[in-house]
Amino acid sequence: MKVKALILYIALLTFSIALPACQGLLGTKEDDTVKEIFEEGAIDPTLNPQSIGYVPVLPVWEGFDAPMDIYAGYDEMVYVVDKQGVHVLDQTGTRHRSIQIPGAMEVVQDRRLHTYVIGKAPQTVNGEVRLFSAIYRLSNTAGAGDVAFLDTLIHPYADVSRRNTSIRKEDEEVEFTGVAPMSDNTIYVSRSGPRNDVNAAYRPDNAVLIFDREGVNTSYARGLSPVVSSIKSAINISAIATEVAPPQELYGMSELLNFVICQKPGNGYQPEYGALYITVNFNPESGYTYDATPGLTEFDRDKSSRFLYQTWRFPSPEDVCIAPDRRHIFIVDSELDSLFQFSITGEEGIVPPASFKDRRNAIVSFGGDGDGPFQFRNPSGVCYLRKVLFVADKGNGRILRYKLNTDLE
């Protein structure tokens, strides 16, 4: 059953931070960070017409306690999840509010400005208090008044196939790992866990659930194997994203139901593909089908040198997002300490300017262990808004922002 009116105290800590002196978004050549960029040589901020890549947007947002997710919302605010809760920032990095959610790990927003936070919820089972994965739906998270608690989806009650089954010991190991809204505010919810009997009456733990805009579980993505690695699997999903993303548009929002998932090793499984793009089709007789996307396993070496569907490419993909304006796919991998960018058709990199002799995609992925402007330690979140890319650099306690040098005016 869907749990409404969960009795839980959500403390709101609201505070203001003085606006820093005006420095501009991008530093000058005298800034220490820019000097470091020149020394590293990863990207030349002088914008040599024969080079293309990302440059940092300054200043770096620091002072976070192991930030694990970031989301730029339809309300034009930026949401950062760390060990202290969910922090609401404006686009200058000024913190406006912090929201305490138990075990908060992921945040996202739908077009109604309802904010979803994945965390934990205590439940009493046979006289014992146990913690289960939960999704909190909030409103007015960036407003002047109090945050409104709307609903909570708690495993296993939120899954309609579990309504007639008892609580299992393994249910505390099951995790909601991502929420991905669609244009009509229905949502996909990715889930991972240890029990994946494909012949059982209830759904496997490794699954993508579908909820309507009011939080009612209506279905799940049938046909994605929870146990066999393939281009149609759902093994230990760590993140999910659709092509519906901010900014808010009255017209032209994508109505595609397709989604991208990331898969990680765990629970005895080793997924061959760290990321999959699933195409959703509708048949009047059979309903919705969740299919492998044609062409992604066919590598056109004339277009790029690296590809999304190369096997064993991502040892630990933590998060994924899609830029709606360019249909770029971004993935952060915590084991590789890197950020990767792909086209929606699976080629890594971006189409180079006409002046480039090499007509294959320019590889703009970057990373490596460290605390430099192009390095990360355990990056765990990525999002995109208006040509700015945000990365939650968990191990360094900071938020980094980037723009393509070709987008600088």
The mean of the pLDDT values for the chain is 89
CA distance between the termini of the chain:
52
Looking at residue 365, what DSSP letter applies? -
What pLDDT, in 10s, does the model give residues 252-305? 899 999 999 999 998 888 999 999 999 999 999 889 999 999 899 999 999 999
pLDDT of residue 5: 36
Instruction: Render pLDDT for 82-114 as a digit per residue (tens, 0 to 9).
Output: 999 999 999 999 999 999 999 999 999 999 999
CATH number of the domain encompassing residue 66: 2.120.10.30
Report if residue 264 sits inside a domain: yes
- Report yes or no on 4 lying in a domain: no
Q: pLDDT class for 325, splitting at 50, 70, 90?
A: very high
What range defines the domain where residue 333 resides?
12-407
Q: Does any domain span residue 228?
A: yes
pLDDT band at 409 (very low <50, low <70, confident <90, very high): low
Residues 127-168 have pLDDT tens digits of 999 999 999 999 999 999 999 999 999 999 999 999 989 999
Give a yes or no: residue 5 inside a domain.
Answer: no
Q: What is the DSSP code (8-state) at residue 39?
A: H
pLDDT bin (cut points 50, 70, 90) of residue 2 is very low
Answer with the residue of higher pLDDT: 14 or 313.
313
Predicted pLDDT at 1 = 43
Q: Looking at the domain assignment, is residue 81 inside a domain?
A: yes
Which residues does 289 contact at the CB level (< 8 Å), separation at least 6? Answer: 222, 223, 280, 281, 282, 283
**Total domain count for the chain?**
1
Sorting pLDDT into bands at 50, 70 and 90, what band is 28? very low
121 within domain boundaries: yes
Inside any domain, residue 165: yes
Q: Do the domain assignments include residue 2? A: no
Grade residue 358 by pLDDT with cuts at 50, 70 and 90: confident
- Say whether pLDDT at 177 is over 70: yes
Residue-wise DSSP of 255-286: ----EEEEE--BTTB--S-SEEEEEEEEETTT
Please give the Cα distance from 24 to 57 (Å, whole number): 9
Residue 48 has pLDDT above 90, yes or no: no
pLDDT value of residue 353: 84
Region for 302 from its dihedrals, namely left if φ exceeds 0, alpha if ψ lies in -120 to 50, beta otherwise: alpha
Q: What is the mean pLDDT of residues 330-359?
A: 94
Find all residues with CB under 8 Å of 103, minimum gap 6, and list them: 119, 120, 131
